[in-house]
Amino acid sequence: MQLWVGLGNPEPGMARNRHNIGFMAVDVIAIRHGFSPWRQRLKGLVAEGMVGQHKVLALKPQTYMNVSGEAVQAAASFYKLAPEAITAFHDELDLVPGKVRVKRGGGAAGHNGLRSMDRMLGSPDYWRVRLGIGHPGEKERVLGYVLGDFGKADRDWLVRLLDAVADAAVLLADGESEAFMSKVALLAPPDGSSG
């Protein structure tokens, strides 16, 4: 089994925040691949399904971003999953809007959700699907930017990106991260003009 974690904040008023693109990604994957309905469990909302030949548990922590690791650790412990069976979908300031990068391990780069996961799992050795949201320009504006809603101008690239991630998800489940990134880029070319 693989654990696919969307990072975000559970407040209904934050649903459209840039910081919640991880929630959005697992929502679209769950719909596209016919997962079970979401239900409250393991300090989060979970849905199960098959992505290609792989059983996947999707998780949206309901603990708030800064302590996301509590829900991830609860799920990993319950299902006895090693960090390399876990994939986190999260917003990435250092990528232009719509650009996707996949990597295993690495630093948290200031992302509190990843920092919490590192701490609770005791290892940074899980997979990350970095979903580009662009950078506001100045460091002082970052918090307001990530906690701000996507704008109308973002809608086209965002919908294209989420659809492409769901369409290419089988490659990700198969461990074909390079092919996954290539397919997403082909289906949803990044839009450097937004953000």
Q: Give the mean model confidence (pLDDT) for residues 75-98.
A: 97
Rounded Cα gap, residues 8 and 18, in angstroms: 9
Rounded Cα gap, residues 57 and 172, in angstroms: 14
CATH 3.40.50.1470 fits 2-187, yes or no: yes
Q: Give the mean model confidence (pLDDT) for residues 167-192.
A: 93
Percent of the residues in the chain that have a pLDDT greater than 70, as a whole number: 97
Residue 98: how many CB atoms within 10 A of its CB?
26
What are the residue ranges spanned by the domains of the chain? 2-187
Rounded Cα gap, residues 167 and 148, in angstroms: 27
Coil, helix or strand for 36? coil
pLDDT by residue (tens digit) across 27-85? 999 999 999 999 999 999 999 999 999 999 999 999 999 999 999 999 999 999 999 99
Rounded Cα gap, residues 104 and 29, in angstroms: 20
Rounded Cα gap, residues 71 and 190, in angstroms: 31
Whole-prediction pTM value? 0.96
Coil, helix or strand for 99? coil
Active-site residue numbers? 19
pLDDT by residue (tens digit) across 106-142? 999 889 999 999 999 999 999 999 999 999 999 999 9
CA 67 to chain centre: 15
Instruction: Flag whether pLDDT at 104 surpasses 80.
Output: yes
DSSP summary character for residue 26 = H
